[in-house]
Structure 1
Amino acid sequence: MTTITPVSETTQRGRSSLIAFPLGLYALTRLLQLAVLWWMSPDGKVRDRLLAWDGGHFLRVAEEGYPAGYTFDADGRLTGNGLAFFPGYPMLVRLVHYVTRLDYGTAAITVSWLAGAAAAVLLCALLTRLYDERVGLLFTALFCLQPMSMSLSMAYSEALFTALVAGMLLLAHRGEWLAAGLLGLGAGLTRPTGAAAAIALTVAAGIAVYRARAGANDRPEADPDPDGEGRAGAGTGRTTPIWKPLAGAVIALAGVPAYLLWVGLRVGEFGAWFDIQTAGWGSTFDFGSSGLQFVRDALRGGDGWIQVSVAWMLIGTVILAVMALRGRVWPPLAVYGVAVLVLVLGQAGYYHSKPRLLVPALLILVPPAVALARARPRTAALVVAAFGAFGLWYGSYLITVWHYAI
């Protein structure tokens, strides 16, 4: 895959389109998703579907706060509880509830929808900056139509997390390091894969500092650094003190450890969060051995089409990631995407949740977005329409007909 030359500037009209178009795409896909969900819901209770499964845990945390410690079943076995869920999303739901007086369920859906809209705009801006406007718009369309984009409409944290990550990467590329660090911190307090976002920002900061130092060493003696400081920018044409990218990375890196430490102190066990995750959802990091076993078993004798479809999606995810890396994706985006894949695919747990957990991976959508941008408009439109029809139906199927949590 050949790299497309990044754009340097957009006109004012172009900037307006980079807000209006992704917002329109996002709104259209969410309305279509609701229509498909209503059509497939046997009882017509669309709102209940959007608040199902882990949404109930998020709502309890938002309304009641976190449990004081471990919880156990009637037989004394450790069970999962709200401490497994990072605070960014439920605390924002609580804030919206207090400000608007909406009930918690409506507040949760509102947060997800608004965060998804922000994610669409920021992703379009990021990919336009890295490639061009057509890639940005197609990437946004693919993001909104992927098989488990349903989670963007639900009381789940994927929409908020993606918005924070997209904003962080965009600001880092623009050299606005402290703001990027704060968004990275927010991502780290929203999902455990916030660690991948922090690592990506650290890579971006390291590249900026290296380039600044290399540039300082290459300066002629007649043109010294007037402040006595190295400078670090990110392709913006302006310079920044090198402490800013380093500070931004440190801020972002604090997010996930801070919450894990807080849970450990609250429960009285350092590894409490991991214990709760394992007890409630079977989530342990086994370096992908259970994932490989699942794919092998599904393809050799899967007992249902969902199992087989997820296996093929996981295979496709790895292939697309390799294609993206061969296409020389911006290193921080590449590092972020690979880190998310490692964390998701390397973890044991419910296989039918994997497509949802990969919604914020981003990297895997770059190759098809670039390919479609180079195709004829009619071909691109047909492919996106077919992809969207499957994606919107698939997500609706998994929260109406499918009987297990996503």
Structure 2
Amino acid sequence: MTAEEETRTAAPAERLWDLAGRWHGVAVAAGILVLTRVVQILLLVGLDRAIPDPAGLRSNLLIWDGGWFQRVAAGYPQGYTYAQNGALEGNELAFFPLYPMLIRALSAIGFDPGSAALAVSWLASLGAAVALHLLGTSLFKSRRAGWALVGICCGAPMSVVLSMAYSESLFLALVAGMLVAAHRRVWWAAGLLGLGCALTRPTGAAAAVALAVAALVAIREHRDEKKWPPLVAAAVALAGVPAYLGWVGWRVGEVDAWFKIQTAGWGTSFDFGDSTIGFLSDTLTLADGWVPMSVALILLVALAAAGVALAGRPWLPLAVYGIVAMILVYGQAGYYHSKPRLLLPVLLTLLPAAAAAARARPRVAILAISAWAAFGLWYGAYLVAVWPYTI
């Protein structure tokens, strides 16, 4: 590579670093994350103590999927799991491997599994805050937009999972980092981060499709650059989800084993949105409890926000990622109260608010995002500490 080519390759990242405020910009993004996490934990403790038989902070942070991930870190089962009556049950093979692998790595150096799970999640949350700041800055050419994106995401109604032993923190860090790398045409990083997405959650398939679109856009718009780096990056990312699903099928002995395990354990199957439409119809007409109503409203508001974002013609790969990810969330059957959590890493729904905050006066933007976070942080804490069902 010539000196001119090295300069041209490095320049986008250097310009972004300067535009994002360098270390000061990163410190502000990290500070926003830390502030929201401290407030979230205080709310969790307060709400938990207000109910009979409180679970305690650590237990609340490790419940539901947190327990599953700790078991995955100890090892995957050899095949299907059956109940005493012979019915197929969900098991650890439903969970993608990267997050549990990191838990296992920390456990190997002395952490107990619960502490390892939380440490990975919290460190990933920090990485997510930095990646979100860089993404917002790169997309809108404004560090204020980057900070706004961090604040809006970290204050969202289900941002509580950023403090828990869930894989959303890791996935959010990876997908935001992948989009930044693709937007700046740093293809080796985009490919590795895209593969990480694909090995963290099924929604990694949406991230991989977005990276493939980014590669095609880059090849068309930058004909003077080499074509193989973006194509290789896309191919690496696209291989991730099929590789894990294929491994599960090989381990169990049936090609569609992962899908059967998901359906048996969590009722998760792709029904083209029939169950989501049914849930919205029943909830909005029968008003069966405020939590279902709030979930219904969140789903509708997210759709509206995505529509506003698409009307603004965002960067095509991000739009593709958001559309595919939302199709996966809205199109599948499963626990309705998990859908707001699954929407957290979609990002497309957050773009209109981030753009508006970047244009507004700083005081107005701070007050608006603070009000949003006040509700969102309380809402997430309530669902974990008080609401009796899984998120």
TM-score by length of structure 1 reads 0.90
Aligned with 2:126 (options 110, 117, 122): 117
Partner of 2:7: none
Q: 1:12 to 1:270 in 2, by over 3 A?
A: closer
Aligned equivalent of 1:141: 151
CA distance in 1, matches of 2:102, 2:315: 31
Identity, % of aligned positions = 56
- 2:373 and 2:221 map into 1 onto residues whose CA distance is 41
Give distance in 1, aligned partners of 2:125 and 2:233. 24
User: CA separation of 1:102/1:9 partners in 2, compared to 1, >3 Å: closer, same or farther?
Assistant: closer
Output the CA distance in 2 between the equivalents of 1:212 and 1:13.
24
Structure 1 pair 52/195, CA: closer, same or farther in 2 (3 Å)? Answer: same
Instruction: State whether structure 2 residue 58 is matched by structure 1 residue 47.
Output: yes
1:4-403 matches, cutoff 5 A: 11=18, 14-42=21-49, 43=54, 45-63=56-74, 65-99=75-109, 101-131=110-140, 132-213=142-223, 230-231=224-225, 241-403=226-388
CA distance in 1, matches of 2:41, 2:148: 22
Which stretch of the first structure deviates more once superposed, 370-379 or 277-286? 370-379
Aligned to 1:224: none
The alpha-carbon distance between structure 1 residues 10 and 91, as it changes in their structure 2 partners (threshold 3 A), is closer
Which residue in 2 is equivalent to 1:218?
none
Separation in 2, partners of 1:144, 1:157 = 15
Shift of 1:175: 1.1
Partner of 1:235: none
Larger Rg: 1
User: What are the ranges of 5 or more consecutive residues in structure 2 without an aligned counterpart?
Assistant: 1-13
User: Which range moves more in the overlay, 174-183 or 184-193?
Assistant: 174-183
Question: Whole-Å Cα distance in 1 between the matches of residues 280 and 19 of structure 2?
Answer: 48
Is 1:38–1:44's contact at 8 Å kept on the other side of the alignment?
no
Q: Distance in 2 between matches of 1:13 and 1:331?
A: 22
The 1:273/1:313 distance shift into structure 2, 3 A limit, reads same
The gaps in structure 1 that reach 5 residues or longer are: 1-6, 214-229, 232-240
CA distance in 1, matches of 2:327, 2:20: 40
Q: Which residue of 1 aligns with 2:3?
A: none
| Paired AA for residue 306 in structure 1 | V
Deviation, 1:15, is 1.1
Q: CA deviation at 1:80?
A: 0.4
Query: Aligned pairs, how many?
Result: 373
Deviation at 1:377, TM superposition (A): 2.3
Q: Distance in 2 between matches of 1:153 and 1:282?
A: 26
Which letter does structure 1 place at the counterpart of 2:124?
Answer: A
Residues 76-124 of structure 1 show CA distances to partners (whole Å, capped at 9, x for unaligned) of 000000000000100111111113x111000100000000100010110
- Decide whether the 8 Å contact of 1:8 with 1:129 is kept in 2: no
Length-normalised TM-score, structure 2: 0.93
Distance 1:81 1:375, change over 3 A: same
Using a 3 Å threshold, how does the CA distance of structure 1 residues 13 and 175 change in structure 2: closer, same or farther?
A: closer
**Residue 302 of structure 1: how far off its partner (Å):** 2.4
Q: Quote the RMSD (CA, aligned, Å).
A: 1.4
Letter in 2 for 1:15: R
